[in-house]
Amino acid sequence: MGVTVVGSVGLDSVETPYGKAELELGGAAVYFSLSASFFTDVNLIGVVGEDFPEIFINILQSREINLEGLQRLPGRTFRWRGRYHKDMNNRDTLDTQLNVFENFKPIISATASLEPYLFLANIHPALQLDVLKHTYPNFIGMDTMNLWINTTPDLLQEVLSRVNMLFINDSEAKELSGENNIKKASLSILASGPEALIVKKGEHGCILFLDDGDHFALPAFLLEDVIDPTGAGDSFAGGVMGYVAYRDRYDVQTLKEALVVGTVMASFACESFGPNKLINISMADIRDRCEKFIQQTQLESYPLLPENDK
Amino acid sequence: MGVTVVGSVGLDSVETPYGKAELELGGAAVYFSLSASFFTDVNLIGVVGEDFPEIFINILQSREINLEGLQRLPGRTFRWRGRYHKDMNNRDTLDTQLNVFENFKPIISATASLEPYLFLANIHPALQLDVLKHTYPNFIGMDTMNLWINTTPDLLQEVLSRVNMLFINDSEAKELSGENNIKKASLSILASGPEALIVKKGEHGCILFLDDGDHFALPAFLLEDVIDPTGAGDSFAGGVMGYVAYRDRYDVQTLKEALVVGTVMASFACESFGPNKLINISMADIRDRCEKFIQQTQLESYPLLPENDK
């Protein structure tokens, strides 16, 4: 079963304590697609300008990503420039040029519209709603950001009420709900629509919240060298949605397994500038890291407590 | 098997978004002792002044903590005043009065000196070294803080080289090692002596690092209401050391189980001002929360990945 993703394709310029990259392949839909492509067929819906290098098209094609929905329009590609500091959990956006992305109108082929899995990456909620009108998925994941939380809250609520799972940063979950405690924030968001919510906490891992009030938490995969965290959240979502589509199941147990896959894919994304590491791994690397992560987070035995109070 | 703890006993005044408490029972050795007392015999070595309320003595006695080593001296008890903000991971110290704690000379009874487990709470490294001269434990845990990292680094290194396990905050681990990545920081600290290191990350959980390069990470127990996190780190250490002493083992598997117990005890400490919640729980509450925590962090099944690369 395949997944369709709608979102940004861009050229990123990034500076981190490890160095910098100029006009690197980037965008939420790119990281999502590359990550998900290890597990399932991917249709990428997006737009680039005349300046988008052919080599980046080749990279996406090398992972057999369906690019029928990737329009090339006159003008320049979406560009983002950012800087990470010693604390890699925070970044400064230095410049954002929407360019051809400003008037992006998704074109969705019959194949893409009929995929049972859909991911609405971080784009204007009006566009997300428009995509929902032209697709027929069984299971929908979405992302958003503080910009839409603040400027188009009503539209965002409408999208939320129609999706199965929201991927969101911890700070954005707090903003969206107005709650400062992450559990309260999540319960409040779940009350507004989705059945599941994944709170992304960067180097501190992730928490899956379910609308029955339960949750499941995992640490992140610990890296000695975080070269560039750009795209880690989208690679995480790509791993989760890609695994769910591959298994063609979205029960709670499958979602928990998918968190492991998402965590591992996000860790690879952090190990190079741009998606260079992501495109140079194999299923064997993914399997090895999943096993390592399980050893590093899963107990072999549980505490044996005293029978009674002392 | 019992544990001896040497550290502060104090009167805490704390303000959090949930309210405030004045001259509440506090101090690292108090939280540690109360927490550990559910699992093992505890000897508390510390000092209080003439103003220390008898009711607080009664509380410690109600948990059968051995107070032979708790001196009462002329003068006032150690006092700390702090304030937590919306982000409960950070706090401002508004006032610290060492009082009788300034010239604290631990008095260690034969019983306390012969206990196989010893915890050196956060006190001057010279005092920690002095305690090591007068005790005969098999397994030693310790805590420290940025003050000693900055002012008495050589003495601190000497203590570190003589203990089995260090408990430390993530920011302090970075300061102590001069490394900004937590894995690199931990490996560097382990190279200087201890066999194990537990990095405490507050609401983001904890990581056990071992001197063979392996590590094991757990999220924190997620609370909807963090009333007052004061003492959570010491309650965590009390749970870990108390469990290790109860099992009388300190192999890696036991240490991992102990992390669960520490996590659960820390969560109880956060649910009231002072140690009020900690002293009102039973072993049944601890067992329930351990089980809940395991459900919330441990997978029932692992990802089934595709056999080959797509």
In a domain, B160, yes or no: yes
User: Residue B180: which of A89, A231, A267 has the closest Cα?
Assistant: A89
Q: Give the count of alpha carbons within 13 A of A80, CB side only.
A: 18
Q: Report pLDDT digits (tens) over A89-136.
A: 778 999 999 999 999 999 999 999 999 999 999 999 999 999 999 999
The b/e string for A230-245 (b: 16+ C-beta within 10 A; e otherwise) is bbbbbbbbbbbbbbbb
pLDDT at B212: 93
Q: Sign of torsion, CA A221 A222 A227 A230?
A: positive
| Residue A45 confidence (pLDDT) above 90 | yes
DSSP conformation letters of B127-174: HHHHHHHT---SEEEEE--HHHHHH-HHHHHHHHTT-SEEEEEHHHHH
**Count of A–B CB contacts within 8 Å?**
147
The b/e string for A48-75 (b: 16+ C-beta within 10 A; e otherwise) is bbeebeeebbebbeebebbbebbbebee
User: Residue A237: which of A204, A266, A195, A276 has the closest Cα?
Assistant: A266
| Residue A309 confidence (pLDDT) above 80 | no
User: Residue A258: which of B295, B299, B205, B217 has the closest Cα?
Assistant: B299
User: pTM for this one?
Assistant: 0.96
Beta carbons within 10 angstroms of residue A195's beta carbon: 17
How far are the Cα atoms of A6, A71, A227, B197, B262 from residue A43, in angstroms, in the given order? 9, 13, 28, 46, 46
Gap between the Cα atoms of A222 and A226, Å rounded: 9
* For chain A, percent of residues with pLDDT exceeding 90: 96
Nearest chain B CA: its distance from A32 CA (Å): 16
| Residue A187 confidence (pLDDT) above 70 | yes
Nearest to B297 among A181, A217, A225 (CB): A217
Q: Report pLDDT digits (tens) over B175-194.
A: 999 999 999 999 999 998 99
In a domain, B56, yes or no: no
Residue A307: its chain B contacts at CB < 8 A?
Answer: 283
In a domain, A310, yes or no: no
Tokens, residue B212: 């063979």
In a domain, B118, yes or no: yes
- B260 and A303 within 8 Å at the Cβ level: the answer is yes
**Residues recorded for chain B:** 310
N- to C-terminal Cα separation, chain A = 56
Q: Which residue of A has its CA nearest to B64?
A: A310
pLDDT at B310: 63
pLDDT at B308: 78
User: Which residue of B38, B305, B308, B309 to mutate against A (max A Cβ within 10 Å)?
Assistant: B305
SS3 state of residue A126: helix
DSSP A308: S
For the segment B104-112, the average pLDDT, to the nearest whole number, is 95
Residue B210 is part of which domain span?
Answer: 27-43+107-297
Q: Which residue of B has its CA nearest to A85?
A: B180
In a domain, B74, yes or no: no
Characterize the bridge pairing of strands A117-120 and A19-26. unpaired
In a domain, A256, yes or no: yes
Supply the CATH number for residue B209's domain. Answer: 3.40.1190.20
How many structural domains are present in chain B?
Answer: 1
- Radius of gyration of the CA atoms of chain A, in A: 19
Q: Which residue of A has its CA nearest to B298?
A: A298
Characterize the bridge pairing of strands B10-16 and B19-26. antiparallel
Residue B1: pLDDT band (50, 70, 90) is: confident
Residue A305: its chain B contacts at CB < 8 A?
Answer: 39, 261, 283, 286-287, 290
Q: Report pLDDT digits (tens) over B8-51.
A: 999 999 999 999 999 999 999 999 999 999 999 999 999 999 99
Nearest chain A CA: its distance from B62 CA (Å): 10
- A243 and B287 within 8 Å at the Cβ level: the answer is no
Residue A310: pLDDT band (50, 70, 90) is: low
DSSP conformation letters of chain B: --EEEE---EEEEEEETTEEEEEEEE-HHHHHHHHHTTTS-EEEEEEE-TTS-HHHHHHHHHTT-B-TTEEE-SSPPEEEEEEE-SSTT-EEEEEEE-GGGGG------HHHHH-SEEEE-SS-HHHHHHHHHT---SEEEEE--HHHHHH-HHHHHHHHTT-SEEEEEHHHHHHHHT-SSHHHHHHHHHTTS-SEEEEE-GGG-EEEEETTS-EEEEPPPP-S-----TTHHHHHHHHHHHHHHHHT--SHHHHHHHHHHHHHHHHHHTTSSTTTTGGG--HHHHHHHHHHHHHHH--SS-----SS--
Q: Report pLDDT digits (tens) over B69-102.
A: 999 999 999 999 999 988 787 789 999 999 999 9
- A301 and B215 within 8 Å at the Cβ level: the answer is no
Please classify residue A257 by burial: count the beta carbons closer than 10 Å to its beta carbon, then call 0-12 exposed, 13-18 middle and 19+ buried: buried
Q: At which residue do the structure tokens 């010693």 appear?
A: A86
In a domain, B17, yes or no: no
Instruction: Answer whether B4's CB lies under 8 Å from B112's CB.
Output: yes
Q: Report pLDDT digits (tens) over A134-177.
A: 999 999 999 999 999 999 999 999 999 999 999 999 999 999 99
Q: E strand or H helix at A25, and its extent?
A: strand A19-26
Residues 6+ positions from A51 with CB-CB distance below 8 Å: A11, A76, A77
In a domain, B230, yes or no: yes
Gap between the Cα atoms of A20 and B259, Å rounded: 39
Gap between the Cα atoms of B18 and B30, Å rounded: 23
Tokens, residue B116: 């196989």
